[in-house]
Structure 1
Amino acid sequence: MAHGDITHIDIPVSDMGRATAFYSTLFGWQIAEVPGFEGYPMWQAPNRISGGGLAPRGDGFTQPRSYVEVDSIDDTVAAAVQHGATVAMDKQPISETSWWAVIADPDGNMIGLYEGVTDAG
């Protein structure tokens, strides 16, 4: 993936079993937990390109969130803030070689940022 590509979409759910059955039946998504990411089943669309995760719904996470791949989260956050965004979640590690953060655009839309590589299968 390249800088600016949408790389992942998280969908907030209150019942993992119900959500897994719903999305796999309705859209044919393959949904499974990946070692190292237990409790966070990941989905893949039939095109084998689109994908994301089913994440627990909670305060501050009530709507689907897209993640955009960037070359540098630090640089992207700085530029976003300069253009009116706010930081909703500071940079956090996913693995030894990948990180994520969340910004809110000037309209309050949450946008996830992703930097690095993962061996999530």
Structure 2
Amino acid sequence: MAHGDITHIDIPVSDLAKASEFYSGLFGWKIAEIEGFEGYPMWSAPNGISGGGLAPRGDGFTQPRSYVEVDSIDDTVAKAEAAGATVAMAKAPITDASWWAVIVDPDGNHIGLFEGSV
């Protein structure tokens, strides 16, 4: 993936098992927990490219969130803030080689940022 590609979509859910059954039955998504990410079932679409996770619904996470791959979260956040965005979640590690953050665009949309490799 390259800078600007959408890499992942998280869907907030109240019941992980029920949501897994719903989305796999509706769209044919393969949904499974991955070692190291227990409690966060990941989904992949039949095209083998699209994917994301089913994450617990909570305060500040009530709508699906797309994640965009960036070359540098730090640079992208600075550029976003200069253009009127705010930061909802500062850069945090996912693995030893990947990070994520969440910005809020001037219209109030939450956009996830991803840097690295999983």
Provide the TM-score with structure 1 as the length reference: 0.97
Deviation beyond 2 Å, 4+ runs, structure 1: none
Secondary structure of 1:76 counterpart: helix
Aligned position for 2:67: 67
In the TM superposition, residue 80 of structure 1 has moved relative to its aligned partner by 0.1
Secondary structure of 1:38 counterpart: coil
In the alignment, structure 1 segments of 5+ residues that lack a partner are none
Aligned position for 1:109: 109
In the alignment, structure 2 segments of 5+ residues that lack a partner are none
In the TM superposition, residue 23 of structure 1 has moved relative to its aligned partner by 0.1
CA distance in 2, matches of 1:95, 1:79: 24
Q: Which amino acid aligns with 2:116?
A: G
The CA RMSD over aligned residues, in Å, is 0.2
Q: Give % identity.
A: 79
Aligned position for 1:33: 33
In the TM superposition, residue 12 of structure 1 has moved relative to its aligned partner by 0.0
* Count of aligned pairs: 118
Secondary structure of 1:43 counterpart: strand
CA distance in 1, matches of 2:76, 2:46: 31
CA distance in 1, matches of 2:44, 2:87: 28
Aligned position for 2:76: 76
Provide the TM-score with structure 2 as the length reference: 1.00
Aligned position for 1:11: 11
Aligned position for 2:2: 2
